[in-house]
Amino acid sequence: QVQLVESGGGLVQAGGSLRLSCAASGRTFSSYAMGWFRQAPGKEREFVAAISWGGVNTYYADSVKGRFTISRDNAKKTVYLQMNSLKPEDTAVYYCAAYRSVYNIGDYYSSDEYDYWGQGTQVTVSS
């Protein structure tokens, strides 16, 4: 079993920053790509960012490119999402997820490619 625990969410004013963390346990963290997704009220879950198993390759949704940065520390089994210049439309529950197979990151934008999910952390951006 894999456990993913997110932290770092909260309430922030527009233009502010937050850093989300996702601590993993249960399998070889460094062999799996990781992703961040979010879900706003009344909307479908959407891809935010993904990072390859070694951290070399990163991918972002157009809506967050240039504002968010995904990173990972394999020694700490933790993936991060640094969010800057936050906007009210970034308000959502943010989930981290572990990719379903080792050394692979194909279709990273699809939630179907991830088999373990955290419980989510709420991010609220006020205008």
pLDDT tens for the chain, residues 1 to 127? 889 999 999 999 999 999 999 999 988 899 999 999 999 999 999 999 999 999 999 999 999 999 999 999 999 999 999 999 999 999 999 999 999 998 988 999 999 999 999 999 999 999 9
* Best CA proximity match to 22, nearest among 77, 83, 86, 93: 77
pLDDT value at position 26?
Answer: 85
* Per-residue pLDDT at 104: 87
- Specify the pLDDT at position 36: 98
What is the rounded distance in angstroms from the CA atom of residue 122 to the CA atom of residue 15? 17
